[in-house]
Structures are given as structure tokens and as C-alpha cells.
Amino acid sequence: MKKYLWLLLIGILLPMTAGAQSAYKAGDIASDFKLKNVKGELVSLAQFTDAKGFIVVFWCNTCPVVKKYDERLVKLNEEFAGKGFPVIAINSNDKGVSPGDSYEEMQKKAAEKKYAFQYLYDESQDVARKFGATNTPHVYLLSKTDGKLKVEYVGAIDNNADNAAAADKHYLADAVNSLISGKPIAMAGTKAIGCSLKWKKV
């Protein structure tokens, strides 16, 4: 019995460490996924035939840093969805560890905050592992390049979580604008303090 438990543990931990080691960075090719949105529909990136790319962001209902960025994410989607870069928010937090991040609570939050973007539930946490996401919020900007999803930028939205007006480096918006105007991205990776992604307890 003990032997099986060890095998189980290895089976769970190995893909986790593998995921962490191969975390997506700028230049990598991302895999598409299929996740349920707050309306109960299955969504994959392939269905957005008109999009030039995606602002994929690991998100949740509960993290105070995410809450600081709620309005900013709504605005980013307003600004960039029409230009071919819609926001795709993904909640990968385990509801056992963080009950406020259940699917039902996602539906409530999406309605309350008037999310016009897709808010998807990664219940198995497979997508977070695949991307190598560790935080909320954690941004992955993707572009459609040669029929593939190329990672263009990984990291923070801007440089001031507490006060949107005081942010003077808009890393994500600058990266999207660079893509739109065909210029190289100045900062392809940044870091920010955020909530740890709430992984299922083994």
C-alpha cells in the first residue's frame, strides 16, 4: 500500500516539477486548451479566428492583488479586444484550498465586475502547469505566428499594483502595442509580487 502511495506521490509531483522547469517564456510556443467559461461553454483559443493573439492571464476571485487589477483588466480588454488581442482570464486555484475560487463564485464575480472577456475554469490545473503559472495575476501575451501561439511576454500588468494612477511602466499594454505596430517588445519578461497559485493538496 505504501509503495502505491509513493508511486502516486511521484506521479503527482513529477509533472508539477516538470511544469515548473519548462515554464513558458518569451519565444516559446504555447499549447491551446479547452476550458469551461462562466456561461458553461467550452472555449479554446482556436475558435477566435479573427484574433491576432491573446492576453492570457491567470486570475482568480480572491487574491487581493487580482482585486487591485480588476478594473484595469476590464479596460485592457476594452482597449485591445477590438485590436485583435482579447483578454482570456483563467482561474486555476483549487476550490478545496481556496473555497472562494469555486466555479459558482467565478460566475458571481464575472457578473458583478461586468467581465466582457472570457473567464475560464481550469479545474484540473493542467493549463496552469503547462504554462508554468505560479501567481495570480500572471500574464502570458501570445501572438498567432505561422499558425502557432507564440509567447511574446510573461509577467506583470504594470509596475504599481496598489495605485493604477501611479503606475509609470505599463509592461503589458506596451508589449501589445509593440505587437500591433510591428515593433520589438522592449521588456519580454517582468516579475511582480502576487498570490501563490493555490495548488491542490496532495
Closest CA to 33 of 47, 20, 19: 47
For position 135 contacting another protein by CB under 8 A, the verdict is yes
- Judged by CB under 8 A, the chain residues 179 through 198 that form the site for another protein are 190-197
Between 41 and 71, CB nearer to another protein? 71
- Judged by CB under 8 A, the chain residues 55 through 84 that form the site for another protein are 64-65, 68
CB 195 within 8 A of CB 60: yes
For position 156 contacting another protein by CB under 8 A, the verdict is yes
The binder of another protein chosen from 49, 163, 165, 201 (CB under 8 A)? 163
For position 134 contacting another protein by CB under 8 A, the verdict is yes
For position 177 contacting another protein by CB under 8 A, the verdict is no
What whole-number distance in Å separates Cα of residue 172 and Cα of residue 157? 5
Between 156 and 185, CB nearer to another protein? 156
For position 22 contacting another protein by CB under 8 A, the verdict is no
Report phi then psi at 43, rounded to 5. -125, 135
Phi-psi domain of 137 (left: phi exceeds 0; alpha: psi -120 through 50; beta: other): beta
Least Å from the CB of residue 196 to another protein: 4
For position 155 contacting another protein by CB under 8 A, the verdict is yes
Cell of residue 130, nine digits? 503547462
Closest CA to 138 of 92, 185, 194: 194
Q: Which residue has the cell 482570464?
A: 89
Closest CA to 80 of 180, 184, 182, 162: 180
Build a one-symbol-per-residue string for 24-43: x at contacts with another protein by CB under 8 A, - elsewhere: --------------------
Sign of the Cα pseudo-torsion (132, 166, 173, 90, in order): positive
**Contact residues for another protein (CB under 8 A)?**
64-65, 68, 98, 134-135, 138, 155-156, 159-163, 169, 171, 190-197
